[in-house]
Structure 1
Amino acid sequence: MARPREFDREQALEGALELFWQKGFNQASTDELLDAMQIRRQSLYNAFGDKRKLFLETLERYCARSISGHVSLLNQSTSPLDGIQDVMFSVIREDNSARLRGCMGVNSVCEFGNSDPEVAEIRDRFASILQIRLVAAFRDGQASGEVDLNMDPNEAATFVQMTLSALQVGARVGADIATLRAQAQFAINRLRSRL
């Protein structure tokens, strides 16, 4: 008969997510993970497989939460361009320590590039969800006269995703709130209709 788990799996995953977000995969030691998750070594292997599988599960969780938040902001906004602006401003955290962590998804891209197919698959899958919603927002914005009609919605959506990544990298290397907000606003202003 198997022994019941002696820990809360959700709580342990959140602890691992926070550590991976702060330190990345390679810099997070197994001992640090055990401490952050408040579990024993054997529980890590029994419940999560290994450090790599645990990282992939936390990355998936982080990306799902992040993209869901972005899509929610786009859906709740009174105008398409305001929704895109809300998404851009949402990644600029007020708290210095939170801002310096950047984005776990972007951090994983910086750490792995395209060398890890499973990390790339998670990144690409969630980026495509956001891309689809951003394209729809740009089309809606063009229909309402808010967004420049000469812009290709797919290219504009890719531009926004790249800008989001750039803002997160800028935050990670220490850019202040004012600089990040100015860059986000600069990007938004380029998207507005000139009529």
Structure 2
Amino acid sequence: MARPRSFDTDDALEKAMHVFWQRGYEGASLPDLLDGMGLTRGSLYKAFTDKKTLFLKVLERYETQAVEAGVAMLSDPAVPNGAERIMAMFRGSYQNVVEGDARGCLLCTAAAGPCNYDEEIAKAVSRGLGTLRGGIYVALGASPRHATLSEAERGALADMVLAQYVGLRTMARARIDHGTLHNIVRSVGVMLA
């Protein structure tokens, strides 16, 4: 008879997410993960099979938590102007950096790392960034200045805003100076004005 799992899978995934978020996929060693999750090697492998499978589950969790929260903000009818919703997302990201959170975005970090060589991770990152892009597209539709754009034009603008967001979050992780990051936020404001 198999022994029942003696740890909470949800809690373990949450802890693994923070290890990957802090160190990146390549930088998160097995000892880092075991220590951060409070698991033994056997428990980790039994529950998650391998590091890649664990990372894919973490990306799902990140999408459910962070990306869907961002999309909810971008879709919030309490802020009638969609351009203001987008700016709130950028300002919030910048403010997190100013307050000391230089982790950036887990999806953006993965896009710059393991997506280069792993198709499954690339698909997961693409799905998450696509979800965020969809939220940006919805917000642009609620912006008086952008609601009249054609679907193709609004889609192109959503792609550009997403690229700025990925750039901001990646540069934050690279510890680029706050002035440069602030200029990125300002440039998005100019683009959406």
TM-score (norm 2): 0.88
Q: Spell out the pairing of 1:27-176 with structure 2 (5 A cutoff).
A: 27-76=27-76, 77-92=79-94, 93=96, 94-96=98-100, 98-99=101-102, 101-141=103-143, 144=144, 146-147=145-146, 152-176=153-177
Equivalents in 1 of 2:4, 2:115: separation in Å? 39
Separation in 1, partners of 2:131, 2:45: 32
**Mean Cα displacement is larger for which, 16-25 or 172-181?**
172-181
Aligned partners of 1:28 and 1:153: how far apart in 2? 38
Worse overlay, 183-192 or 153-162 = 183-192
Structure 2's unaligned 5+ residue stretches are none
**TM-superposed deviation, 1:185:** 2.1
- DSSP 3-state at the match of 1:147: coil
CA distance 1:113–1:50, shift in 2 (3 Å) = closer
Aligned to 2:4, what secondary structure does the other structure show?
A: coil
Deviation at 1:163, TM superposition (A): 0.4
How many residues get paired? 187
Q: Would you say the 8 A contact 1:16–1:36 is kept in 2? A: yes
Per-residue CA deviations over 1:129-175 (Å, capped at 9, x if unaligned) read: 2222322222231xx3x338568100110011000011011111212
Q: Which amino acid in structure 1 is aligned with residue 136 of structure 2?
A: L
Root-mean-square deviation (CA, aligned residues, Å) is 1.9
Aligned mates of 2:131, 2:111 — CA distance in 1? 17
Shift of 1:182: 2.9
CA–CA separation in structure 2 for the residues paired with 1:15 and 1:135 = 32
1:88-131 CA distance string (max 9 Å, x none): 122221332x22x1111111111124421111111111222222
Aligned-partner SS, 2:139: helix
Quote the Cα distance in structure 1 between the aligned partners of 2:115 and 2:45: 27
Q: Indicate if the aligned counterparts of 1:85 and 1:185 stay in contact, CA closer than 8 A.
A: no
Segments of structure 1 that go 5 or more residues without pairing to the other structure are none
Q: CA deviation at 1:38?
A: 0.5
Assess, with a 3 A threshold, how the Cα gap between structure 1 residues 176 and 148 changes in structure 2: closer, same or farther. Answer: farther
Q: CA separation of 1:3/1:150 partners in 2, compared to 1, >3 Å: closer, same or farther?
A: closer
Residue 10 of structure 1: aligned partner: 10
Give the AA of the match of 1:161.
L
Query: What is the one-letter code of the residue matched to 1:33?
Result: L
**Residues 4-55 of structure 1: CA distance to partner in whole angstroms, max 9, x if unpaired?**
1111211111111111111112221111111110011111011111111111
Identity %: 31
